[in-house]
Every structure is written in structure tokens, then in C-alpha cells.
Amino acid sequence: MALSHAILVCLTERPMSGYDLAKFFDTSIAFFWKATHPQIYRELKKLGGQGYVTSAEEVQSGKPNRFVYSITDAGKQALKDWSREPVALPLIKDDLLVRLQAIEYVDKDALREQIRARLAAHREQLGQYHHIRDVRFSDGKPAPEDLGKLMGLELGIQYEQGWIAWCEGVLQRLEGT
């Protein structure tokens, strides 16, 4: 169970509603985890039951009321306990690479198109990372609490650059085959 911890991590940044969290998971720092809103709402209730978060109803006019969740001291302790558990190696799990293994059995035109689309997606993602880095970490020395976020961002940048280079090479070698 790691979604619960990912949510707790998000809530260390600031209190958020389920709706906020869903957007946060969609766009922001959480490139390395994803969740749909039903998952998040369910998980928030579970976390509330465990005492790791508290919720406060925020009355709004015009829009439906929000339930804003904050991490509790018990939640922070749970994060620290979790942080001592060993982490698993993430695996790649990519349809594209599976298809490449059976290159003689797939539709090569479709494959080339998929790689081109993938390349575009990685370039787009890289652009987003660069943008975040520029607006958030433009000055040389990040605050200590931001260091981890910067390093995560740097991993993302390197990761996308690696994929981009690989896609370009693959496309060249697939030309005319």
C-alpha cells in the first residue's frame, strides 16, 4: 500500500481537498505515482479512520463545499515509520518494449507511429519538467526542504532525455525496415 503514503507526502506540502489531490496527482510533482479521484477519496477516508489526517469542511458559496484534509502528528509518524521500510526496485512495464521483442510479429508501420507518438510525449514531459525547474528552482541553492523535490525533478529530466535519445535512435534504425 503506497497510495496512502503518497497522499500523506502531498499533504506535508499543504492541506488539500480530494479534488486538489486529484489535480496534484495529475499535473504536479507526482510524476512517479498516479491515482484517480475515486481512489483518492476512498483512501482519504481510510486515512481519516486511522487518524493520519483530519478533515475540515470548508463552506463555499456557488460551489459545493470542500473537505480539506491535513496531516496529523500521527500521520507524520506513520510517514517516518514507512520511510524506514525497504523500497522495491521499480520495473519498467512498457507495452512498447514488449512489442519490440516480437518485432517480426507486429505491424511495423503502427510501431513506428507509436514510437513517434512516444517521442513527442517525452519531449512534452521534458518541457514541463524544465518549466517547473525554471520557475521553482531558478536560483542556485534550493531550500533544504526542497532539495528532495529538486532531485526528483532532475531524475525526471534525465529519464525523459534518455527516452528521447533512445526513441530517436530506434526510429532511425527502423527506417525502411
Partner DNA sequence: AGCATATATGTGTCAATGCACATATGAATT
Partner DNA sequence: AATTCATATGTGCATTGACACATATATGCT
Closer Cβ to DNA, 55 or 161, answer by number: 55
CB 146 within 8 A of CB 13: no
Q: Which of 7, 8, 10, 17 binds DNA (CB under 7 A)?
A: 17
Q: Which of 41, 137, 159, 166 binds DNA (CB under 7 A)?
A: 41
Query: What's the min distance (Å) between Cβ of 143 and DNA?
Result: 28
Q: Which of 62, 87, 138, 140 binds a second copy (CB under 8 A)?
A: 87
Q: Which of 59, 62, 84, 134 binds a second copy (CB under 8 A)?
A: 84
What is d(CA 64, CA 68) in angstroms, rounded to the nearest whole number?
13
What is the distance of C-alpha 96 from the center of its chain?
A: 20
Q: Give the single-character DSSP code of 140.
A: S
Contacts of 108 (CB under 8 A, 6+ apart): 174, 177
Query: What's the min distance (Å) between Cβ of 137 and a second copy?
Result: 13
Q: With binding defined as CB under 7 A, does residue 64 bind DNA?
A: yes
What is d(CA 101, CA 114) in angstroms, rounded to the nearest whole number?
15
What is d(CA 17, CA 20) in angstroms, rounded to the nearest whole number?
5
Q: Select the binding partner of residue 171 from a second copy, DNA, none (C-beta < 5 to 8 A, by kind).
A: none
Which residue ranges make up the site for DNA (CB under 7 A)? Answer: 1-3, 17-20, 22-23, 34-39, 41-42, 44-45, 60, 62-68
